[in-house]
C-alpha cells in the first residue's frame, strides 16, 4: 500500500499534468468545463435568420466556440440604436466591459461618448460593438483564430443594423475588417469600402487616453466623418 505521503505526491503530479495539458489546449487560462452546460446555440439551419439584434443576441450569447467563452464574466454583444447610421467597432471587451456586459463603458467608453457628442450625436444614436464578444484575458490582443471564429456574429450585426458608416476604433479592428497589415496611420484620412459601406479608421479611445497627442488627429478623423455624413443626409 502506498504511504500517505506517496499518495499526496501522486495527487500533486496528476494535478500538474492536468494543468499542463489544459494550458497546452487553451493557453494560460483555466478551462471552466462546467460552462459547457450553458450552450444552447442556434442550429445551423436557423443561423443567419435572426430578424432583430435581440434575436441574434439570444442565439449567440452562450457561445463557447473559442476559449474566451470559458474565461469571460459576461458576453458583450453590442449596444445602441438598432437602425443606426453609424456603427463604431472596436476590437474586444476590456475589464469594465466584461464586468458590465456592455461595450465601451470604462474610461475609454466615456471618452468615446465625448467623441460622439463632439459630432452632435448621442451614444443612443449610434451602434457600438467589438469584433470579439468576450474579453481576452489580461486585455491581450485578440488572436486571429478568435476573430475568425467570432466575425460571423459581427457580420450578422452589420447586416441587421445596415449602417451607412462604419468607424473602426483602432488598428486591430481596422486591419481585421479591411484584411490588411497596413499601419493605422496609413489607413486614416481615407474612406474605405466595406462590402458597400463606407468605412473610416481612427484611434481607439484607450490609445487616446495613453497618448493625448493623438486626440487632435482623432478629431480630424471625426470632422471628416461628420462632413461626409452631413453631405449624405443633405442628399437624402
Ligand atoms: S469571443 Fe466570440 S467566438 Fe469566442 S466564445 Fe466569445 S462569442 Fe464565441
pLDDT band of residue 35 (cuts 50, 70, 90) is very low
Q: Is residue 227 part of a domain?
A: yes
Q: Which residue is closest in CA terms to ligand 1's atom 4? A: 66
Q: Is residue 145 part of a domain?
A: yes
CA distance 185 to 76: 28
CA distance 118 to 204: 16
Residue 228 is predicted with a pLDDT of 98
Q: Which residues pair with 129 in a beta bridge?
A: 89
Residue 14 is predicted with a pLDDT of 60
Query: Is the CB of 149 inside a 6 Å radius of any atom of ligand 1?
Result: yes
Q: Is residue 12 part of a domain?
A: no
Q: Is residue 20 part of a domain?
A: no
Give the 3-state DSSP-derived string for 104-124, with helices as H, strands as E and coil as C: CCCHHHHHHHHHHHHCCCCHH
Name the H helices within the chain.
Answer: 4-26, 53-60, 68-71, 95-100, 107-118, 144-161, 171-178, 184-187, 205-210, 215-234
For residues 84-112, average pLDDT:
97
Query: Is the CB of 69 inside a 6 Å radius of any atom of ligand 1?
Result: yes
Are the beta carbons of 140 and 71 closer than 8 angstroms?
Answer: no
Residue 172 is predicted with a pLDDT of 98
Residue 30 is predicted with a pLDDT of 44
Residue 18 is predicted with a pLDDT of 53
CA distance 18 to 102: 34
Atom of ligand 1 nearest to the CA of 149: 3
Query: Is the CB of 146 inside a 6 Å radius of any atom of ligand 1?
Result: yes
Give the pairing type, strands 197-202 and 165-169.
Answer: parallel
Q: Which residue is closest in CA terms to ligand 1's atom 2? A: 150
CATH code, domain with 67? 3.40.470.10
For residues 56-68, average pLDDT:
97
In the structure grid, which three cell numbers stand for residue 14, read together? 496528476
Q: What is the pLDDT of residues 130-156, one digit of tens each?
A: 999 999 999 999 999 999 999 999 999
pLDDT band of residue 236 (cuts 50, 70, 90) is confident
Who has greater pLDDT, 43 or 199? Answer: 199
Residues in contact with 130: Cβ distance below 8 Å, sequence separation at least 6, in sequence order: 76, 78, 89, 90, 91, 92, 93, 97, 103, 173
Question: How many independent structural domains does the chain possess?
Answer: 1
Query: Is the CB of 156 inside a 6 Å radius of any atom of ligand 1?
Result: no
CA distance 221 to 203: 9
The percent of residues above 70 in pLDDT, for the chain, comes to 83
CA 158-150-207 angle, 5° bins:
80
Residue 39 is predicted with a pLDDT of 47
User: Which whole-number Å values give the CA distances from 158 to 81, 140, 183, in the listed order?
Assistant: 12, 25, 24
Residue 188: pLDDT over 50: yes
Q: Is residue 88 part of a domain?
A: yes
Residue 31: pLDDT over 50: no
Domain that holds residue 230: 38-234
Q: Is residue 11 part of a domain?
A: no
Q: Is residue 78 part of a domain?
A: yes
pLDDT band of residue 38 (cuts 50, 70, 90) is very low
Residue 45 is predicted with a pLDDT of 80
Q: Is residue 139 part of a domain?
A: yes
For residues 29-38, average pLDDT:
44
Handedness of CA 117, 113, 218, 166 (dihedral sign): negative
Amino acid at each position: 500500500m502506498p504511504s500517505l505521503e506517496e499518495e499526496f505526491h501522486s495527487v500533486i503530479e496528476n494535478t500538474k499534468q492536468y494543468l499542463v495539458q489544459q494550458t497546452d489546449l487553451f493557453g494560460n487560462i483555466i478551462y471552466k468545463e462546467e460552462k459547457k452546460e450553458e450552450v444552447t446555440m442556434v442550429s445551423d439551419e436557423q443561423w443567419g435568420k435572426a430578424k432583430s439584434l435581440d434575436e441574434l443576441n439570444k442565439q449567440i450569447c452562450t457561445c463557447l466556440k473559442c476559449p474566451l467563452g470559458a474565461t469571460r464574466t459576461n458576453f458583450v454583444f453590442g449596444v445602441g440604436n438598432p437602425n443606426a447610421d453609424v456603427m463604431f467597432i472596436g476590437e474586444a471587451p476590456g475589464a469594465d466591459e466584461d464586468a458590465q456586459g456592455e461595450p465601451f463603458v470604462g474610461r475609454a467608453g466615456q471618452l468615446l461618448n465625448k467623441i460622439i457628442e463632439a459630432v452632435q450625436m448621442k451614444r443612443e444614436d449610434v451602434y457600438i460593438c467589438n469584433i470579439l464578444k468576450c474579453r481576452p484575458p489580461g486585455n491581450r490582443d485578440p488572436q486571429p483564430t478568435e476573430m475568425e471564429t467570432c466575425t460571423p456574429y459581427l457580420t450578422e450585426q452589420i447586416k441587421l443594423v445596415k449602417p451607412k458608416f462604419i468607424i473602426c476604433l483602432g488598428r486591430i479592428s481596422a486591419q481585421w475588417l479591411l484584411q490588411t497589415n497596413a499601419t493605422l496611420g496609413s489607413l486614416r484620412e481615407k474612406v474605405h469600402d466595406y462590402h458597400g459601406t463606407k468605412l473610416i479608421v481612427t484611434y481607439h479611445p484607450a490609445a487616446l487616453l495613453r497618448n493625448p497627442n493623438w486626440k487632435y488627429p482623432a478629431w480630424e478623423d471625426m470632422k471628416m466623418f461628420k462632413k461626409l455624413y452631413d453631405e449624405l443626409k443633405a442628399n437624402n
